[in-house]
Structure formats: structure tokens, C-alpha cells
Chain A
């Protein structure tokens, strides 16, 4: 059987079968269906399909559900808030919007500070040895100053001579050596230490508040 050419009316047949059309529109459509064999067949199909699909869904104990829902949503219980304009996200826990979101990651400035400390300590070890001789002492190198809690992203290029004048005026962390002097093995070791340190730092050390200065002559 061919389909009805009136697509607009045919499109409303499921709503007629459902009974959700306004009375006037339903009457108009029923008049059309009565004169259209294709729509009559399609409406009959839709009504039987609707019955089958509805029967497939289990009958619920709605009263029991209502009681459980009202018990769970009584005022005073924690309320889940979601971003306005969106359906609520499905999450297993219920929290209020007033609870600040927890940040499980370590703040970037703390990592940067810890990394700076490690660099200073690593480079200072040869300088602090009692037997350090002028032969083994590092050569004077351009020094780098930067804010003690600077982000790694903001850290200037340590080999850039342009930053040298900042040493004298700065009260921040001063590194009296250059990374370029480190051997490949030492650099790799330093990077590994930095990686392990990143996982353990949880707070900004208070010692960073004080300026640290390491010079070729010792502390």
C-alpha cells in the first residue's frame, strides 16, 4: 500500500494514537483518516505497536517509589546542585553546591618552589664539601634570579645573560651555577629527583620565604 502524500497529517498520526492532540486537531485528522486507506492502515499499525511497546515496560509499584522518593528528598537532606540549564549529572554521591570543589592536584607554585630548592641544594653540594678545592669548584657562571615561587612556565631561560643584572636587586632565590655545566648523567639524575619530588610536595615550605644565596665561596 502506498503512503499518504499528506506528510504533515501523516506525521501527526502517532500523536493521534497517543491521544495527545488537541480535540479540534484530532477531529480534523480523524476526518482525513476516515477517507484515507493508507492513513487508516498506518494508524492501526501505530496503535498496535504502541500497545506492544507499552506492555513491554514493567508495571511499577508507583506508590512505593513515591514513598522512597519523598523520603530521600525530604528537605534537610544534602542536595545535589548542577550547572543551570543542563540535566543533572549522574554521580553516586550527593553534595551541596556550597562545598568548594576539592583540588587533588598539587598547586603549581608549590612544585616550582620545591623544584627550585632541589636545584639549589643539588648545585650547592660540591660547594659545601670541606675538601672542595679550587680545581673542583665550579667556575663562576652567570647567575639567575627569579621569584621563589615562580611557575616553571614563567622561569626565564637560565642560560640567558640578560637576567644577570637582576641578581643584585633581587631578594629571591639565587642559583650560583648553570645547568649547562651538568653532565648528562647528572642532569638525568636531577630530573628523576624532580619527578619524585613532584609527587610528594604538599605544601609550600616556609624556608622559601627567606632568600637563599649560594656562591662559589660557600654559604
Chain B
């Protein structure tokens, strides 16, 4: 087989996983190429700014090290997102510990996110950023997974550990708030 990008482009995630189990490391490379950028977007939506490449790499390493436990009742991407989210939370806790601060809470996450919004240079993008920043962390997570990743509510629910119906409500509330925010600017 030649370039992994060509021979694996048609293979499903499940087929690539099977090939990786068979000892073909090129399947792992193909899976990384397929999902890395989505993980980067997801990490950014969680408020991460620094070391996203390291975060994505760690996510894949964790995933491959425990791929035997992956059950196909959700998509691989959903599973990767859950791993990535746990790593992000772990990072934030470590940062809090270093600063002798209390446990991560959503209020802190919002503050960090808001503080970085002012750095957006382009005005239209800045308006969108500010609108998204007004969402609660959960609304933002659901909204981002729906809009940037095109995920069905069932998969989103697995990532955010909620229900499909609740995710649907979070999405529509988020969309309504963003519309209001954009029209106010």
C-alpha cells in the first residue's frame, strides 16, 4: 500500500481500527489525520489556547492505548472528544492546584474565555466570538459540537454527559442568545 492518505481515505474508522489491531501503524496515522483538526476545534471551544497540539497528541495516545475498550456504540470521534474533554479538565485542575486555587468551576472557565475574546482583531469575527462567549460553558460546548462538527444530538449527549433532549434545548437556547447578541451589536 502507498500513501496512507490515499488508501485509507475510503476506509471507515472501524476498518482502520481493525487494521491497527492487526499491527498496521499506518492506520493510526490515517485516523490522526482524519480527526486531529476536529479535536483542535473542540479543544478551542473548551477555552484552550495553549498547547492544543500537545493536547491532541495526548488524546490520540490515550485513545490508542485503550482502543481495546472502545465500543462502537458511539462514533470514534465522539469517544475522542470525551477523552479530550477529560484531558482539558485535568489540565485545568492542575493549573488551579499550581495557583493554590480551588477546584475548577464553570465561572472560572467563562472568565478565561471572556478575557481572551478581546484579542479577536476582525470585527465580524469579534462579534461572533463575543456572542458565543456569552453562552454558558455547556451551551457553548453543545452549540460548537452541533455547528462546527455537525454532530447529532445523541452523540453530543455522550460527550457532554447529558440527554439528547437536553442537548437539543441547549442548542436552541444558544442559537437564540447568539442571534440576540448579534442583533444588539
Q: Which residues of A contact B (CB under 8 A)?
A: 11, 14-15, 17-20, 42, 45-46, 48-50, 52-70, 72-75, 79-90, 94
Report whether B129 and A52 are in contact in the complex, using a CB–CB cutoff of 8 Å: yes
Compute the total of residue contacts between A and B using a CB distance below 8 Å.
142
Report whether B66 and A81 are in contact in the complex, using a CB–CB cutoff of 8 Å: yes
What CA separation (Å) do A87 and B74 show in the bound complex? Answer: 11
14 A–B contacts, CB within 8 A, in A order: A18-B147, A53-B45, A53-B147, A58-B44, A60-B36, A65-B32, A66-B28, A69-B64, A70-B25, A70-B28, A80-B62, A83-B69, A84-B69, A87-B83
- Which applies to chain B's interface (DSSP): helix, strand, loop or mixed? helix
Contacts of B152 in A (CB 8 A): 15
- B170 at interface, CB cutoff 8 A: no
The number of residues on chain B lying at the interface, defined by a beta carbon within 8 Å of a beta carbon of chain A, is 52
A53-B41, A69-B64, A82-B69 given; A18·B52 CB < 8 A = no
Q: Which residues of B contact A (CB under 8 A)?
A: 23, 25, 28-29, 32-33, 36-37, 40-41, 43-45, 52-53, 56-57, 60-66, 68-69, 71, 79, 82-83, 86-87, 90, 124-125, 128-129, 132, 144, 146-150, 152, 168, 171-172, 175, 178-179, 182
Contacts of B69 in A (CB 8 A): 81-86, 88
Contacts of A83 in B (CB 8 A): 69
What CA separation (Å) do A46 and B152 show in the bound complex? Answer: 16
Report whether A69 and B125 are in contact in the complex, using a CB–CB cutoff of 8 Å: no
Report whether B61 and A73 are in contact in the complex, using a CB–CB cutoff of 8 Å: yes
Which of B32, B56, B168, B179 has the most CB atoms of chain A within a 10 A radius of its CB?
Answer: B32
Report whether A57 and B40 are in contact in the complex, using a CB–CB cutoff of 8 Å: yes
What CA separation (Å) do A128 and B106 show in the bound complex? Answer: 66
Which of B23, B64, B66 has the most CB atoms of chain A within a 10 A radius of its CB?
Answer: B66
